[in-house]
Structure formats: structure tokens, C-alpha cells
Structure 1
Amino acid sequence: MIKKLIGFAAFLFICNSALRAQSESFQVPLSWHMLDPIHDSVYGVSANRTYSELLKGKTGQKVIVGIVDSGADTLQEDLKDVLWHNPKEIPNDHQDNDKDGYVDDYYGWNFLGGKSDTSNVTEDTRESTRYYFQYKSQFENIKDSNQVPQKERVHYRTWIQAKNIELTATDAAKEAGALERISSLLPQISDFSKVLLKDTFNLEDVKAYEPIDRKTSAEKQIYTILLDKVGPGTTNITLPAKINSLLDSLKEVNKLPDVAPPNYRQNIVKDNYDDFNDKYYGNDNISAGDVMHGTHVSGIIGASRNNNLGMDGIADNVALIEVRTVPGSGDEHDKDVALAIRYAVDHGAKVINMSFGKPISPNRSWVEGAIRYAQQHDVLLVHAAGNDGEDITGQPNYPTQYYGPDNSKEFDNVITVGASGAMEDDLVADFSNFSKTAVDVFAPGVEIYSTLPGKDNYGSLSGTSMASPVVAGVAAAIRSYYPELSAPEVKQLIMASVTKINFPVINPATGEKVKLSDLCVTGGIVNLYNAIKMMQDHQFSLKKTPGQK
């Protein structure tokens, strides 16, 4: 799932940042992710410094980057010159000029479309919902796994997982979770009565207050949300008890859905989903539906640099293949993801960004086959770790670099990315998933400024969805100036050149102070300057993986 706007998770991160702010004197720059930790006092990837110091006067090779996402606005002023154009396809002639099976695929392809380019999937369900209802009649009365035939137990275990996800994804459960997380901030603002100069205050008092800085603005937002949620007549004194009462009532009404949702995708796409060889479906409309997420991701990677418009992408010589695969709401389908990866590979992509994920993957073998196909064609895949603020060790956010029995094997061409913030106090975004083994690096993912749909629209979004394209942009820049490096080598260089973090950071799940190396493999933030410098100084040597020549 894309999780374009990460809602309460982003809100909590911003509020936490404000509550912990010690000084209002430093304003985080708009495109902070491009800046340098030493020169600019923010934990960006040093892209601007790289181009001004290490790559000045140099020209790299053009790198094709696949954007497996929600599509993009082809008319956005900062993207229109960097979008890939299929050199063998004549646009809008309704012919398959290059004989690849996809008609008029000039910018890429839309695997969420029908035969007509005006018929497109714009919303879908969670994978857990689809799986829960697919096997509900078969498993809902099972009390013990021993009642299930051996060959069906994998399905049963996945169904139980889907059922548990559905229980936590109901409106009541989500409201309770959001209420618990916001109310957990109250101990940090116990002195708000002093700010209002009132020992006891209510919603009207809070609304009437004019904040004087980021901290008091965050405090006002928190109290406004909580007092409004629990109803009239509540004061700061009675608020905790009212919150507990509301939580109890929400838990009582929490129950599984009774009616299966529409099959949004099948009703429009009309392929034989169970047949992976039925792959020539969809249409050429990569701008269908809500393309905000894909447009924003695309700009982070490769928006035109130095054109005095909007913002600069990280990579300076790219062509972006847009492969529409993820709906505006709900989860992507494994078949579409697998075919999207293969499509990007077949059309020359050397880096593919995947800013999406889900907790179950019923047809993961299709996706793993596509990852292996990319591996065979020397393509690096960059994947977002997810926005649940959880440890994903042993709980993958699919697709993942792990495969095989008990996930004992690992693809060497997949890099998984967590999201970081600009400043030391909030370096790890508290919405970011993490893992000491399953997340490789962190990269800027909080309030990242980039392109939005519309001719000249720009704005900031947060999420590991933004951190992943930061790394994809870094990878594309490396492959542009050092095309002799293989995909595994690029991954290893990115990991070897991180800005190591030697101070404690906050664990998103527990709130405890830990080492960043406890939250990702490298214990660092991706840094393009360090990577290029290592190559120029001949400090990088490939660590051979088993079976690698």
C-alpha cells in the first residue's frame, strides 16, 4: 500500500519534533534532503555538495529508472523533460510499434487499466481483506490447525494473519490506535495550563489561544484533537478518564467485516488473474486517477536539475519509466507488481523504485521471479520499509529481499530503506519501520519537497515512500558516473558510504534511545558525496557474495 499521506504517524512525528524543539532559531531548509550534514547542519544526502565539488564539469551516462507506483503527471514542468519516451513507439497511433505486447506505451504502462484508457482502477482493497474473504468459508469454523489438511496449512496460517490484520484495520481499531498514540503525548505537555494561565481549561480555551512557537502550536493541536474527540464538557482534568472510556467503547464495537468488498481490479482489468502468462492487459494511461504519490516520488529521483524551476532531483541524467501499478487506496496486486518489474527491466531500467508494501503476499513467487529476472539483468531494486513504526524483522513488508525456505536466502540486488528526519533530535522518523537485519539504510523521508500534479505544483510529503526514491536517486547518480559497477556493487557502495550515526536515536516502536545500528544494517544515513568520494579515492572494494563471479 502506498500510504501517500501517512496521517497520524506523520502528525505525531511533527508534534514530537516540535515538543522536543530546544530552539526556534534554525529553520529547516525546504530541500533539506539535498544538503550536507557538515556544511548545512541537516542530515541530507549531500547531493548539492557532490555536484559542486566532486562532479563539477563531468557528464555521466543517462540512466533509465523505473517508477513502479501510481503513475505521474506527464505535464509537470519539472518532470516533462526527464520522463522516458519509448524510442520504438509512436504515441497515440493505436499500434504496438515495438511489438512488446503493449500498445502506445510511450511513457510506460498502466497495469491498472482496462482496454480503454478511460477505464482505470483508482481504488482497491487491502490484500488482507481480499485474502480473508477468499478463504473465509473454508477456514472460519476451524478451531485447531490440526483440522486443516497439510497441503492447506500455508493458506490457513496466512488466513489467520489476514484475519488479525483485518481486526486491527477496522475503523474502530484505527480510531482507537490514533487516540492512544496522540494521548501518549500528554505527559510531554503537562505544563500547558501554565501557557494558558489556567489550572483548568476546556476546548474553547484551547481554540482561543494563539501559539507563540512550534512547541505551543503542537500542544494546541494535541489538546484540540483530544478535547474535540471526547465530547463537550471535558476539561484537562477529566480528559484522561474520558479518553479511557472512549477507548473501551471503541474496543467493544470492533469486529470483522461481514460483506466482501467489490473486486475493483477484476471488474475493470478483466485479465485471468490466476494465469501469470496472461500479461498483456492494461492501457497506456499512466496519468489515470490520483497520481500525487508517483509524481512526488518521480521528482525526488530525477526532476530536472538547474532549470530554475521548482526543485532539483537527486540524479542529473535520468529517464523515468512510469509503470502504474498501485491504486490510490488499497494494496497492489502481486501479478501487477511482478509484471511491472519485468516491464521496466525489459525497457532498459537499471534502477527501479518501489514505494509501496503490504504484510502478506499470496503470490510472492511471481514477485520473487521478477526480482530474480531483474537480478539476471543487473538491475537494482529500491524498496520502502513501510510506515507502521514497527520492527519488520521476521514480519516482511512485501516485496522483500528475502526468499526461500524460512526466508533464509537474500537477493543481492534489493535495498530496503527507512525514513529519517533533518535534525539530530528526530533523526529516525517515528512512523518508519525498522530492522537490524531487514532494513539496510535510512534516508531523508520527512517533509521532502518535490513535484506534485499540475503544471507548476510542488509540496512536501513524508513517508518511507519518500526515503526510497532518495536512495533510488543516489543509485541512479552512481550508475550514471560509474556504469561499470554492477547492481550488487552499487548496493554495497551505498551501504559502505553512509553517514554513520554515533549518537542515540529514538526507537519508533518503544520510544527508547538506541543505536541506529539497532534499527538498520548499516547504522547510517545514505550519502551521495561519501559514495562518489570513495570511488574517486579508490576506497571501495566489492565484497563477493556466494556464487558471485
Structure 2
Amino acid sequence: MKFIYSFLFILLFFASCKSSKEAYNSYTNLTAKKKVTPLILQTWYQKDYGQDTIPGISLDKWYAQNKKKPKSKDIIVAIIDTQIDLKHEDLQEKIWTNPNEIPNNGIDDDKNGYIDDINGWSFTGTKSGGYIVWGNFEYVRIVREWETLYKDKIESQITAQELSNYKEYLRAQKILEKEINYYKNWLKSLNYSVLTYPIAKDSLKHYFPKEDYTYQQLDSMYKKYKINDKTFRQRREDRDWDIGAMIGFMKARLDFNEHSLEDVKENETQADSILNKNLNINFNERTSLGDNPKILEKGYGNNNISNNKTNHRTIQDHCTKVSGIIAANRTNNKGIKGISDNVKIMPLNISYSGDENDKDIAMAVRYAVDNGAKIINMSFGKEFSLHKEWVFEAFKYAEEHNVLLIHSAGNNKFNVDENPYYPSDNCFDGSKEVCSNFINVGSISLKLNSMFVSRFTNYGKQNVDLFAPGDEIYTTGAGNVYKTDSGTSLAGPMVSGTAALIWSYYPKLTATEVKQIIMDSGTPYDLEVIVPGTKDKKVPFSELSKSGKVLNVYNAMLMAEKVSKHKK
């Protein structure tokens, strides 16, 4: 049956290519002829290369030509992420509301296991009504969990069944030791900087009474006072040597984007928290949740998905950016236009400073499936997974219920065929993929040259499915603002929004069909690109993902129409 279905899909794909030859061109001799103005930069990812010579997703082209109305009700897209800014002007009426729950009555009205889950759920919500700010990195959890089993043991003492976990423990332990040493040294340096900053500032006041110096001015002044080995002994007691040191110190602060003593102290606080919380094997964020971390269970956490206090906006920013790309209002003449207007966002909080917990990932996926989501966007990732089996089971659960999973490939600039990156549909043990409803998305820029693939993105011929714009993306931000940011976190929702658009017009398609349509209908670019993480190693763009293509909404909608017609 699977072979017959695959054969039919191939026939449909080639039929759609034949009937729309222009739409599926592989572009060569690429040049960006149109000047990229600040206004175009805000919407570049929505452009079409054939019309605009800008390698966007051809969204504007599809909307300009489409005359049809959506066939289905709003598509629910679950965003498993941070908190969200529910008050953002461009997301009004775009947030999912649980139709079977009575607000704030303290009762689980719909009997889904979550009390007062009106707009979603925070799996990082604490018993006191707050939320987790700091959590462990996953390799810390692995060392803590497996230390009693494997500490100080050699491989010959390990059984064949435990060998894989033993090696993962050693890998985690090595990274933990390295990171602890790094942050200890950085914190020591910041402690020194906090003490030295007022002295340096006072020393430079003689030269800059208004304290309005730039990096360039300091650099020019530093060169003037720079001392070589021959004159060191003669001038070591000279006041100019002290000034030179203070100039060098202040230059370094500007290099680290520290423009005030408050900035230095903030970095000191961050480094201290990373060392004593993220990397601390004795710190466990689960204690404030009151759950049992050993089992999967409903009900822990709270319904506080959006703490709108001004000083809490940072923790809302990521989810707000992702949501805007997918669902920002297209008709209110404000801010930006989301990919699909026919969407409701279901915010599910699992992210904080640290690595997401596999239990929260699995339970959020199951919540999304059980409460009507068709698409789950996951713009997060990590290099270790302590309970990957929980996540795999949740992914299979989503597959059984025809729900599509979209994941951002990550910003580590490495090959995820060789370096595990989670969550994934790959067990990284040589076995086949665990599900057929998972799309992993890398990032491209608007540069039609060797820098076409974003320098930060992960890649992989087997484990990255396709690419989408993720460089310099203008979107919604927490605090009712708009901002530009980069990362595969912004490429993933391009695909999620496209899937929602497809389903809103062709609701009878399956998750597997939508995935295949998105991958097959992408735009191939005939470019030699620099491999992320290398200085100048070049390969064909097609070698960095399974499809070798970039998301194309226009093509996807054409193909979806043809596949849908053949299903009738």
C-alpha cells in the first residue's frame, strides 16, 4: 500500500511540474537586480525570485494571483516556545481560545487534565503561579541522572545494553567540565571589570569630559599610548601606561557591548546564574514545579502563558516573533503580514534560560494534539536528550492524529547528520526515522552568492529537510513592537505558516502529504555556498538538505491543489 501511494504521489508531482513549468524552475546565474531598500528588507522573505530577483518564499505572488476563499475554519497552530505577548496589536483575535473551558473558575471544565487552560498552558509554570526563569542544560541533567551508574567506570565494565548511555554520559561530562571552566574564568573576568570600570571611566574623563567617546576614538588614542617591549621598562611607571591600560580596558567593554557599569553588572549576573544554575548539578528547576520528573503526567504547570509586566518582556519575545511570522493580521494595516490569516495560535510554554526538558516537550505535543492543533511549531533545540523515548512516543502520537511537526534545525552551524540535535525524528543509531510527519528547517539569507546559506544554521543531507528565510527577518516583538532578528527559529514558522495556508484551502490532505508537498515544491538554487562553520569550504546548495530546496508558497499551493483534486 505504501509503495502504491508513493508511486501515485510521484506521478502527481511530475504532472504538476509539467503544467506549471515556470513555477518549478531551478534558478541559475543568480543576481539581485533590485536594490534592497530598508522597506524591501522588512518583507524580503515574502518576495519571489522570478519577479523580484529576491530569494523569498513567493508569498506575495500567491496572494496577488489567488481569487479563492479558504474552505476550512481556522487552522490551530501550537507554538511550543516561551511565553507570548498576548496584547500585541498584530496578534489580536489570533490567539486560540479553548471553547470548552470557563475562564478562571478553578475547574477543569473540559476534563482535559488542565484547569483554566483558556489560551494554552505553561508547562514551566510554578506552584506559586510564577514561572521558571533558569533551568539546567540537558548535559547537566544527564550527568546528574547517570553519575551513580557510570562515574569513574571504564568501558570494559559496561554491558552492551548500557554502552550507548555510557558514551553519552562521557560526552555530557566532558562538555560540562569544559563549560564550567569557561564560565568560571569569564565570571572572574567580569568581577574584575566591575571593580575596574569606575576607575577607567574616571581616568578617561580628563580626555572626554562628556564621556561621549566612540570605539574608533579609543582605538586611535590606544595606538598613541601603545608600548612595545623596548620601551616597557622605561615607561612602566609613567602615567601614560595607566591611561593606555584604561583605554584598552574600555575598548574591550565596548567589544562586549558593555556601555555602562550597569551593563557589566548585568553580564556578571548572567554569568553567575549560568554557572550556579544552568551548569550546577545540584540545582534542579523541577523542584518549583511540584511534578514527578520520572513520569509523564497531566496537570503540572499553570495557565499563565503571558506575564505582561514590563521587566518580563524578554521571556515573551521569542514566541511573539515566531507567532507574528505565522499569523500576524494581514488586513489591519499595522506592522507585518503573517503568512496565513486563517490561523489561531496555541501558545504552550516550555522554554527558559537553559535546555527544554523532554517531559515538557512530550506533554506539550500531546496537549496540542488533544486540543485540536493541526501543526506544531518547535523553534528550539539541544544537543542532548535524556528521555528521547518520551518525545518519540509523542511524535508518533501526533502522527497517528494527522498532526504536522515543524522544527527549526538549530544555530550551531554544524552537520546534524554527524552531530545529534534534538528534538528529531532520527534516533541517531542507524535506524529509520521514527515518524513521517516531521519537517526540519534550516535558514537562508537574501544574499544570492556563496553566503546564501546563513552562517549560523545547522545543515544535513539526511536530517535537514529544506531551507527557508531566517536571516534579517522583520517580525512582531514583545511589548507591542516590531524588530528584526535572525535564526532558524524564524525559518521554521515560515514552513508552519505555509502548512496552515495549505490546509485552510485543502483540508482533506494528510500531514504526510502536506510535508511531501512542501518539500517537493521548493525552489532549487544552483549555487555554490560556504558550508556553515567553515571559513571557505564550498558545496552545491543542494547538498545541505534532503530536498535541496527553499520553501516556496506559490509552488506549494499549486501542487496542493493538484494533489487534492486527485484525492476526490
Aligned mate of 2:329, from 289, 301, 304: 304
Other-structure match for 2:285: 265
- The structure-2 alpha-carbon separation of the partners of 1:540 and 1:132, relative to structure 1 and needing over 3 Å to count, comes to farther
Total equivalences in the alignment: 455
Higher relative helix content: 2
Q: Say whether 1:369 aligns with 2:393.
A: yes
Secondary structure (helix, strand or coil) at the match of 2:42 reads coil
Q: 1:102 aligns with which of 114, 118, 123?
A: 114
Matched, 1:291 2:316: yes
Q: What is aligned with 2:52?
A: 40
Residues 112 and 265 in structure 1, CA contact (< 8 A), matched pair in contact too: no
Tell which deviates more after alignment, 487-496 or 94-103: 94-103
Of 198, 202, 220 in structure 2, the residue corresponding to residue 205 of structure 1 is 220
Equivalent runs, 1:310-329 vs 2, <5 Å? 310-327=335-352, 329=353
Q: Cα distance 1:338–1:440, how it changes in 2: closer, same or farther (>3 A)? A: same
1:194-246 Cα distance to aligned partner (Å, 9 max, x none): xxxxxxx99523999xxxxxxxxxxxxxxxxxx99994799xxxxxxxxxxxx
Partner of 2:170: 160
Q: 1:450 to 1:202 in 2, by over 3 A?
A: closer
Cα 1:297/1:261, change in 2 over 3 Å? same
- The one-letter code matched in structure 2 to 1:153 is L
- Residue identity over aligned pairs, in percent, reads 38
Structure 2 Cα separation of the partners of residues 228 and 94 of structure 1: 62
How far apart are the structure 2 equivalents of 1:94 and 1:480?
34
Q: Which residue of 2 aligns with 1:51?
A: 63
Specify the alignment match of 1:74 in structure 2.
86
The residue number in structure 2 matching 1:443 is 468
Matched AA of 1:94: G
Partner of 1:30: 42
How far, CA to CA, are the matches of 1:529 and 1:229 in structure 2? Answer: 57
3-state SS, counterpart of residue 406 of structure 1? coil
Residue 144 of structure 2 aligns with an amino acid whose one-letter code is F
Unaligned runs of at least 5 residues, structure 1: 1-20, 177-200, 209-226, 235-255, 543-549
Correspondence for 1:535 among 560, 563, 566: 560
Offset at residue 323 of structure 1 (A): 0.6
Contact 1:351–1:475 (CA<8 Å) still a contact in 2?
A: yes
Whether the aligned pair in 2 keeps the contact of 1:50 and 1:528 (CA below 8 Å) is yes
Partners of 1:51 and 1:57 in 2: CA distance = 11
* Contact 1:203–1:228 (CA under 8 A) maintained in structure 2: no
Match of 2:374 in 1: 350
Superposed CA deviations along residues 42-70 of structure 1, whole A, max 9, x for unmatched, are 21111122112124555653211110111
SS in structure 1 at match of 2:554: helix
**Aligned counterpart for 1:359 among listed residues 374, 377, 383:** 383
In structure 2, the gaps of 5 or more residues are 1-30, 187-215, 224-243, 252-273
Q: Which is worse superposed, 42-51 or 129-138?
A: 129-138
What is the rounded CA distance, in whole Å, between the counterparts of 1:54 and 1:23 in structure 2? Answer: 26
Closer/same/farther in 2, CA of residues 122 and 173 from structure 1, 3 Å limit? closer
1:404 deviates by: 8.5
Secondary structure of 2:101's counterpart equals coil
State the Cα deviation string for residues 287-346 of structure 1 (Å, max 9, x = none). 14511101111111111112111111111201111111111x110000110000000000
Would the alpha carbon gap of residues 514 and 80 (structure 1) be closer, same or farther in structure 2, given more than 3 Å must change? Answer: same
Distance 1:233 1:378 in 2: 57
Task: Describe the SS at the equivalent of 2:80.
Answer: strand
> SS at the partner of 2:495?
helix
1:124 counterpart (131, 135, 156):
135
Q: TM-score, normalised by structure 2?
A: 0.74
The correspondence of residues 134-173 of structure 1 with structure 2, limited to 5 A, is 134-142=145-153, 144-170=154-180, 172=182
* SS in structure 2 at match of 1:125: coil
CA drift of 1:451 comes to 1.0
Is 1:416 equivalent to 2:451 in the alignment? no
Q: 1:284 to 1:467 in 2, by over 3 A?
A: same
CA gap 1:154/1:482 in 2 versus in 1, 3 angstroms: same
Match of 2:103 among 91, 94, 102: 91
Counterparts of 1:461-500 in structure 2 under 5 Å? 461-500=485-524
Checking the alignment, whether the CA contact within 8 Å between 1:63 and 1:317 is kept in structure 2 is yes
Shift of 1:166: 2.4
For residue 137 of structure 1, report the CA deviation from its aligned partner: 5.0
d(CA) in 2 for partners of 1:405, 1:36: 39
